[in-house]
Structure 1
Amino acid sequence: MLAATGKPKSQSAPERRIVPDVVRQHAEQAAFFWMQRDTLMAEDPPDLHVIAGVDRRLEANLDGLRIAGTAAWPFIVAAYEDFPEKGELFLYGWMAIEQNDDRRVAEAVELGRQSENDACGLVGALAWHKPVTIAPLVRDWIGAPDAFKRFLGLSACLGHGVDPKQMLARLVRDPDTRVRAASLRLAGKLKRADLAHELRAALNDTDEPTRFWAAWALNELGSGDLASPELRRVAVGGGPDALTALRAAVKAAPDKDVRAWMGGLLKTPETAPVAVRGAGMLGDRTILHWLVHQMRQPALAVAAGGALLELFPEARQADLFTTEPSQVGQAFEHHFGDAPSNLPVAERVKEWAKNIG
């Protein structure tokens, strides 16, 4: 157990008595659980029940670090030096903000600037803290000359749904592409109809993510006719925003038009998985038998599994998936090799469907 002194938190207070191995474990597990959470959130679709359990374990370890206070820093620094990954960056940024330590916050910003994963760990730390806690930082960053700090400020606003008011009108035209993309995304999330002109202009931006988030934001404002071409292009492109684009493209047009588009995608092997996954976003549970058929094709199985879970969240509780391609058949083993994949087993799904009627 950690021993707390009971004194108020202070940067100048003496370090608290701790059990080093326990604090080290808290630091390592906090970094691991946030990394696990971030990975689980990227699954298609994410299992929010499992993520809630991870959140509880993460918060328990963060509590241990709160109790340890400044004495936890050697372990946090060592964790990042050993594994400079997104979970360790989250931990570094979270603790710096938690202790209101300007020097450590500045260090976290520089570590985020150097990270290879778009500083998602530091962005996650900003999202984990309450808005009132990070408000002074966000106010300083969002108008800073440093583009990376502007990006961090916008990311914090995105994480908490905070509107920077008139500042956003300037940021959607920011010279930095990453800032522009984040600003447009925030404009869509907040449904800032007053920025519709800027969103339409951004559809012609030379930067691809900027164009995509402009289209996504316009779709959120109800201008799906303008947004659809860009959303569909990104959806079939297979990039990091493809799934978000597909979901938006389904929303952007009438059901009849979306089904016709997907019918065309089904005719081409390269785009057929997009159509199968998109079918699960239409909300039509009567396609279950058709999905089972798609699950028997290695190239379509993962997309069909994602569609199944979206239409039938209760399917998570049944034993319908496997991570071993060899259990599904030789064709699956040849197609997936050693790549980890969560594959639906068509015969299990078929039997489950019969049982639930």
Structure 2
Amino acid sequence: MASVATQLFAPPRRIAAEVVRQHVEQAAFLWAQRDTWSLEDPPDEAVIAEIGQRLEINLDGLRIAGSAAWPFVDRQLEDFPDKGEFFVAGWMAIEQGDAKRVESTIDAARQAVERRGLAGALSWHKPQKIGKLVRDWLGAHDALLRYLGVAACAAHDVDPKQLLRRLVRDPDADTRALSLRLAGRLKRTDLAQEMEAAMEATDDTVRLWAGWALSELGFGDLARTELRKAATAGSPDALPALRATVKAGPEKEVRAWLGGLMRSSDTAPVAVRGIGMLVDRSVLPWLIERMREPHVAEAACAAFLELYPEAREETKLFTVDPAELGPESARRFGDQVVRLALPDNVGAWCVRLSQLP
């Protein structure tokens, strides 16, 4: 009884406000940083994992702080309604099972036209934690809720079963595109006809992901034209479209297509990047020469890292100062912060690598 009485009449837990504020700010910053790194070409999984570990430490701090963190979360979201801040608000609301907070955070995201952070919050929680929310959202009248429901399924590789048949025909283009992507990822061959029908959609993104899904099912020939068009369009989804095009093959035709792209300075970067996706290390001498050409140098660096991911540990192979590659590169990139490979260093490294036992 004494221990129970001690618990009942214990003084309230003291919270160090400044520490809680730092946890809130760091969690938002780290998740946004991690998300940005995930969009790199190609992404550095080791860096992403390290940032994730640091993020989890700060989320543990917010778990301990509980409701005492909300004033800092609210103030941060009001001042900086960006993806990292929405991640923290969404994560906190779900963590505490606060339905009103979940709803108000979604409303705020709707006003800010920002949903990446909320999708990230859903991906960070285990499926059991968000299951009921997601089931309700998948059948909601609200397009944003349906989108978030599909995003959660995609993050956890969960199959919505029969619901996905309706979602791949969703009237909201973003939800439909994401649903088609999920269907391809899950290898839902029963939805192949819906994917093929979506190839006639008016929305470019819907057509792209319908084609991508078909290629995942082994029907890349049905989507080849659309995927190649998307790969050279310069949109945010151009890279997965290029990867799907290369994967769909046949390799001889893909190489011929990439060769044609090399004839134009506008499409040559796409060709160089695509050649790296063929996973053929014999192209390295050719790729090193492309590193010397400013208009394809960035793509050549990305292609090299795809062929030699172990090279990431060799800091002397890369630079973020274009001037190191000469005045022409300096003029082309200006003040941009870009990662470029140093061709001479890469060549010497590969020679040493080939001599290793």
TM-score bin (small chain) = over 0.9
SS at match of 2:277: coil
Alignment match of 2:191 (pick from 187, 191, 195): 195
Deviations along 1:294-352, one digit per CA (max 9) or x if unpaired, are 00000110000000000001111112111111122111110000011111111111111
Q: What is the CA-CA distance between 1:42 and the residue it aligns to?
A: 0.3
SS at match of 1:280: helix
Q: Residue 52 of structure 1 corresponds to which residue in structure 2? A: 49
Alignment match of 1:298 (pick from 294, 301, 306): 294
Counterparts of 1:238 and 1:110, CA distance in 2: 32
Q: What is the CA-CA distance between 1:286 and the residue it aligns to?
A: 1.0
Q: Unaligned regions of 5+ residues in structure 2, if any?
A: 1-5
Count of aligned pairs between the two proteins: 345
Counterparts of 1:303 and 1:218, CA distance in 2: 27
What pairs with 1:130-279 in structure 2 (closer than 5 Å)?
A: 130-279=126-275
Q: Residue 69 of structure 1 corresponds to which residue in structure 2? A: 66
Tell whether the 8 Å contact from 1:15 to 1:70 is kept in structure 2 after alignment.
no
SS at match of 1:44: coil
Q: Residue 97 of structure 1 corresponds to which residue in structure 2? A: 94
Q: TM-score, normalised by structure 1?
A: 0.95
Tell whether the 8 Å contact from 1:172 to 1:184 is kept in structure 2 after alignment.
yes
Deviations along 1:149-183, one digit per CA (max 9) or x if unpaired, are 11110111111111111111111111111111111
Question: Which AA in structure 2 matches 1:235?
Answer: A
Moved over 4 A (4+): none
Question: Which AA in structure 1 matches 2:78?
Answer: E
Q: Does 1:327 align with 2:324?
A: yes
Counterparts of 1:185 and 1:305, CA distance in 2: 28
Q: Residue 80 of structure 2 corresponds to which residue in structure 1? A: 83
Counterparts of 2:173 and 2:124, CA distance in 1: 25
Q: What is the CA-CA distance between 1:355 and the residue it aligns to?
A: 1.3
Q: Residue 304 of structure 2 corresponds to which residue in structure 1? A: 308
CA pair 340-297 structure 1, distance change in 2 beyond 3 A: same
Question: Which AA in structure 2 matches 1:39?
Answer: T
Q: TM-score, normalised by structure 2?
A: 0.95
Tell whether the 8 Å contact from 1:97 to 1:134 is kept in structure 2 after alignment.
yes
Q: What is the CA-CA distance between 1:97 and the residue it aligns to?
A: 0.2
Counterparts of 1:47 and 1:323, CA distance in 2: 16
Q: Does 1:286 align with 2:282?
A: yes
Tell whether the 8 Å contact from 1:158 to 1:186 is kept in structure 2 after alignment.
yes
Tell whether the 8 Å contact from 1:16 to 1:69 is kept in structure 2 after alignment.
no
Q: What is the CA-CA distance between 1:114 and the residue it aligns to?
A: 2.4
Deviations along 1:74-106, one digit per CA (max 9) or x if unpaired, are 111111122111000000000000000011100
Q: Residue 11 of structure 1 corresponds to which residue in structure 2? A: none
SS at match of 1:191: coil
Q: What is the CA-CA distance between 1:16 and the residue it aligns to?
A: 4.1
Counterparts of 1:151 and 1:44, CA distance in 2: 25
Counterparts of 1:123 and 1:242, CA distance in 2: 21
SS at match of 1:17: coil
Counterparts of 1:243 and 1:35, CA distance in 2: 21
Q: What is the CA-CA distance between 1:15 and the residue it aligns to?
A: 7.4
Q: What is the CA-CA distance between 1:266 and the residue it aligns to?
A: 0.5
Question: Which AA in structure 2 matches 1:289?
Answer: P
RMSD (Å), alpha carbons: 1.3
CA pair 15-234 structure 1, distance change in 2 beyond 3 A: farther
